Amino acid sequence: MNQLANISDILNDAVFDTANYKNSIKKAVAFSFWKNAAGAKFAGFSLPYDIKGKTLMVAVKNPQVMQELLFYKAELTAKLKDYFLPLDILIEDIRFDYKVWNRYTSKNILEGADNPDYYEEDDINSVVLNRFERDEILKVTDSISKLTFLDDKLKEKYEKNIINSLKVKKLRNGEGAKGSV
């Protein structure tokens, strides 16, 4: 058992405790707020896929969606700053690209029946987070709790959304399916 603990420490230090891994978690959480900022009208036709510098990269379904989103670019950027700031991600610009839509959505289309957009609360609550995930969430929620411009109710919702987003991601990856431990 002691050797197993040492191996897990090595993996944690060498793999999971890297800047890239932490950055990926931050991006995944940040991207989960896109639907809130973009709204129902655009959520199904646009998808953030990367952050380059201070620019959020968003795949859009076609040029018409891109054109319409460009009208709301300043408003979207302002909304996203509120979501991204607690994650220490600074967004100053958004770049929309319709040419990459299939690259980032074809997997989702093929797996649509297996990966629903909505999960029951019981399914989400059944997902168990590992120690590393809980530690990372604790760091993020600590920084959220220090924000003075959010009231307590909004902080609580924000923290719950982060936890649920991670659990849903695990469900989609098959890591938290019912009956798994």
CA 15 vs CA 19, 138, 172: distances in Å? 10, 19, 22
Structural Rg of the chain based on CA atoms: 18
pLDDT digits (tens, 9 = 90+) for 131-181: 888 888 888 777 777 777 667 887 788 788 888 888 888 887 777 654 433
pLDDT digits (tens, 9 = 90+) for 74-128: 999 999 998 888 888 899 999 999 999 888 876 544 444 455 556 777 888 888 8
Name the residue with tokens 């953030």. Answer: 48
Collapsed DSSP state (helix, strand, coil) of residue 13 = helix
Residue intervals of the chain classified under CATH 3.30.300.180 are: 1-110
Domain 1-110 fold is GMP Synthetase; Chain A, domain 3 (3.30.300)
Burial class (CB in 10 A: 0-12, 13-18, 19+), 73: middle
Decide: 48 and 62 in contact? Cβ < 8 Å.
Answer: no
Q: Which of 43, 22, 23, 44 is nearest to 34 (CA)?
A: 43
CA 143 vs CA 62, 85, 137: distances in Å? 37, 10, 10
Burial class (CB in 10 A: 0-12, 13-18, 19+), 29: buried
Q: Name the pTM for this structure.
A: 0.56
DSSP 134: H
Task: Please determine, for residue 65, whether its predicted confidence score (pLDDT) is greater than 80.
Answer: yes
DSSP 52: E
